[in-house]
Amino acid sequence: MEFSGFYKCMSDPQRIRILSLLEEGDLCVCHISEILGMDQVRLSKQLRYMKDQGVAAAERSAQWMIYRVADPVKQLLAENLRCLRASGGEDLPLSADHERRRKLFERISVEGSQCSVEIRELIASNRERCES
């Protein structure tokens, strides 16, 4: 992993918001899109850029793409996000994004999701991790 690739990703507010969500656990593209209110085409371009930079990783589950923070950058991301949150970062609605994520998980646990069974199980495990 090159530090320059990581910081290129951290130089864009949308990518910071995406990485902040992925820091809590893996997410399907459709859920990131819903949480951030971004169309999937624009979101997919951002995710591809982060993947090309070695910051995000993805795996396919049926027709769904599941994204996560790449292992080599987890600690670096955690430290940078901690600094951003501590400095206020009012221009980045990270807390609101995480609240929308929590509400999404609550809704999915009650109503289900259009995603495959594997993704619903992944989301359930993420939800448990967020609550602990």
**Between 61 and 100, residue with greater pLDDT:** 100
Residue 117 has what pLDDT? 45
Identify the H or E element spanning 52: helix 40-52
What does the domain layout of the chain look like in residue ranges? 3-131
According to DSSP, the residues that pair with 56 across neighbouring strands are 69
Strands 64-69 and 56-61: antiparallel
Residue 61 has what pLDDT? 79
Compute CA distances 128 → 64, 121, 124, whole Å: 21, 11, 6
Q: Which of 17-21, 37-41, 58-62 has the lowest mean pLDDT?
A: 58-62
> Per-residue pLDDT for 22 more than 60?
yes
Residue 109 has what pLDDT? 78
pLDDT in tens, 71-123: 999 999 999 999 988 887 667 899 999 999 999 888 887 877 666 545 556 65
How far apart (Å, rounded) are the C-alpha atoms in residues 104 and 123?
10
**Between 8 and 110, residue with greater pLDDT:** 8
Binning pLDDT at 50, 70 and 90, where does residue 63 land?
A: confident
Third-level CATH fold of 3-131: Arc Repressor Mutant, subunit A (1.10.10)
According to DSSP, the residues that pair with 59 across neighbouring strands are 66
> Per-residue pLDDT for 1 more than 90?
no
